[in-house]
């Protein structure tokens, strides 16, 4: 029996989105304390449970209807959506709102020595990435062939290590690229954090709580403009 009367919200346990996700919910009046050891944090003043997980797990938890809401980067969300569509798995969700944090871009980058004209300069080359689906969609739209080197971490060291000719990775300031002798050539996807809802039918009570939460989120974001 996994259904719950309490609204379940998945947030990143620890990482770039976790603090802002918690701050947003607290600003919306949800009172909770997280225990670092615990997966679930129960709100004291509302029927809400926070599920603290790896960010990569959040889209699937929402798409499978295991949780009602999730706060996640659009990059991870769309990567998972394309992946699931190609596997014939459930990939439906409703995006309630784009949030005002977690901004970053998924970009192509190549070593300083590389003479880059445009994305076609990468024809037939090997590109290291943690986002194979977003990269493939971009390259297919342009009709460029490439080979993949799938890495979940240390993507930026792949060219120097001789594993790939270029990379497709998340960038915010570009300092990491610079430190690894790379330069950004093309933004392929711009991302912000967003809040998504499962397509699972909700009880009236839960839907009302979701509506209340969403209108408070709108208020908080408008106020910090």
Buried b (16+ CB within 10 A) or exposed e, 17-44: bbebbbebbeebebebeeeeeeeebebe
Burial class (CB in 10 A: 0-12, 13-18, 19+), 62: buried
Whose Cβ is closer to Zn ion: residue 56's or residue 64's? 56
* Minimum distance from residue 115 beta carbon to ligand ATP (Å): 27
20 binds Zn ion (CB under 5 A): no
56 part of the interface to Zn ion, by CB under 5 A: yes
d(CA 51, CA 9): 6
Q: How far is CA 59 from CA 10, 82, 137, in A?
A: 9, 11, 19
- Asked if 12 is part of the footprint of ligand ATP (rule: CB under 6 A), the reply reads yes
Is residue 170 part of the contact set for ligand ATP (CB under 6 A)?
yes
Residue span 99-138 as binding mask against ligand ATP, x where in contact by CB under 6 A, dash where not: ---x-x----------------------------------
Burial of 8 (0-12, 13-18, 19+ CB in 10 A): buried
Contact flag: residue 55 with Zn ion (CB under 5 A): yes
Q: Tell me if 76 contacts ligand ATP by CB under 6 A.
A: yes
> Is residue 169 within the footprint of Zn ion (CB under 5 A)?
no
| 60/206 with CB nearer ligand ATP | 60
Contact of residue 191 among Zn ion, ligand ATP, none (CB under 5-8 Å per partner type):
ligand ATP
* Cα of 129 vs its chain's centroid, Å: 15
Rounding to the nearest 10 degrees, give the CA dihedral for residues 97, 102, 108, 112: 160
Q: Residue 22 or residue 110: which is nearer to Zn ion going by CB?
A: 22
Q: With binding defined as CB under 6 A, does residue 55 bind ligand ATP?
A: yes
Give residues with Cβ within 8 angstroms of 51, minimum separation 6: 8, 9, 10, 11, 39, 40, 61, 67
Nearer Cβ to ligand ATP, position 12 or 197? 12
- Point out which residues bind Zn ion (CB under 5 A): 55-56
- Point out which residues bind ligand ATP (CB under 6 A): 12, 15-17, 54-56, 73, 75-76, 102, 104, 170, 172, 191
């Amino acid at each position: 029996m996994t259904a719950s009367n309490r609204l379940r919200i998945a947030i990143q346990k620890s990482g770039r989105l976790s603090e802002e996700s918690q701050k947003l919910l607290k600003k919306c009046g949800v009172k909770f304390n997280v225990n670092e050891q615990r997966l679930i944090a129960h709100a004291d003043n509302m029927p809400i449970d926070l599920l603290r997980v790896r960010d990569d797990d959040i889209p699937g938890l929402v798409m499978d209807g295991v949780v009602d809401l999730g706060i996640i980067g659009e990059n991870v969300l769309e990567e998972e959506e394309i992946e699931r569509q190609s596997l014939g798995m459930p990939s439906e969700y409703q995006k309630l709102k784009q949030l005002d944090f977690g901004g970053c871009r998924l970009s192509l980058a190549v070593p300083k020595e590389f003479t880059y004209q445009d994305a076609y300069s990468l024809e037939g080359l090997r590109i290291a990435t943690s986002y194979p689906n977003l990269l493939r969609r971009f390259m297919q739209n342009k009709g460029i062939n490439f080979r993949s080197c799938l890495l979940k971490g240390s993507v930026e060291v792949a060219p120097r290590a001789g594993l790939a000719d270029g990379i497709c990775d998340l960038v915010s300031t570009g300092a990491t690229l610079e430190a690894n002798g790379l330069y950004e050539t093309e933004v392929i996807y711009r991302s912000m954090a967003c809040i998504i809802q499962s397509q699972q039918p909700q009880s009236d009570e839960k839907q009302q709580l979701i509506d209340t939460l969403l209108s408070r989120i709108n208020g908080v974001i408008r106020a910090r403009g």
